[in-house]
Homo-oligomer: A and B are copies of this chain.
Amino acid sequence: MSTPSLLILAGDGIGPEVMAEVTRIIDWYGKKRDMPFDVSEDLVGGCAYDKHGTPLHDDTMAKAQEVDAVLLGAVGGPKYDDLDFSVKPERGLLRLRKEMDLFANLRPAQCFDALADFSSLKRDIVAGLDIMIVRELTSGIYFGEPRGIFTEGNERVGVNTQRYTESEIDRVARAAFELARRRGNKVCSMEKANVMESGVLWREVVTKVHAESYPDVQLSHMYADAGAMQLCRNPKQFDVIVTDNLFGDLLSDAAAMLTGSLGMLPSASLGAPMANGRPKALYEPVHGSAPDIAGQGKANPIACILSFAMALRYSFDQGAEADRLERAVEKVLADGARTPDLMGPEGGTPLTTAQMGDAILAAL
């Protein structure tokens, strides 16, 4: 196979800082493990708007379609808050997800043992937590038409449309069942079938996919409000959760926060296989652009580094190398390496973003 290609879109805020550490790790893999990557870089979000007047230039979109995987940092910032909806930084990210058809967003919510005390939850409720939220990412209310702000009579009305076709539900359900087989073999599907017809169809299709193709996996259904509750009460009851785009947005953020490891959590967004067999893929940390600490060397690069580990696993079939990188992260945490977001009340001197990168490289 030819050298795998990566497009790096560092984006806004702390994006460039955390991505700089990932770049060093990528270099390390090229030099020390004989795994070179063909890396190119481009703009997304506010910085793309600043340069091109659009949060994602067509050329960048075209490049993203060609590479083996995209690594994204973060988008957005207060500077762009008053921009028109159509050119907000987020639209760049949403366009990537939609046009690459990245329908399965994998969001592991894992509690790192060294950090369990950072959770607002009691230690025994989160220690050892390891769930995988599979969020549908290319449909639902994020993209449904009609949408917009319209005038009706003498007032305006804001409209968005939740739409799910059977095949959209089918493919994300399969992704969830496949993952469950390689983990705890349990899937919990969440919707509001008691209130929304789109939820009724969701439940029906998930049930059908299960019966036809994955009867060996344990399937349960939960209303999304009860799901939000259960995530807070007893998150360890879950293995894989599959849910729609909007519920997935809220539930995965809540789950991420529960772990106490928000600055640590990666994500993968996967689409259909390309000609070379690799899935279309974009990897990004779950955290945002954190404009308040941008440019100060305070950002935690681990979520972005673990996103690259997910790329090794899901795009490049290098599970052992992904494990190696994840173990290096666990080791530095166990040894006490901490960026400012991970400092407990005991205090001490935190590492800078680059020093955390150094530590992980050393552990590798």
Contact = CB atoms under 8 A, between A and B. Distances in A.
B201 A156 contact: yes
A107 to B, nearest CB: 12
A250 B228 contact: yes
A157 B234 contact: no
Contact of A122 (B122, B161, B228): B122
A226 B250 CA distance: 8
Number of copies: 2
Given A142-B195, A232-B254, A249-B225, A200 B158 contact: yes
Contacts of A249: 192, 224-225
A256 B202 CA distance: 27
Interface in A144-172: 144, 147-149, 152, 155-167
Interface in A234-270: 234, 246-247, 249-251, 253-254, 256-258, 262
A119 to B, nearest CB: 8
A293 interface: no
Interface residues of A, number: 60
A232 B250 contact: no
A199 B200 CA distance: 25
A282 B257 CA distance: 34
B155 A197 contact: no
A160 B162 contact: yes
Interface of A: 76, 85, 88, 90, 94, 120-122, 125, 141-142, 144, 147-149, 152, 155-167, 192, 194-202, 224-226, 228-234, 246-247, 249-251, 253-254, 256-258, 262
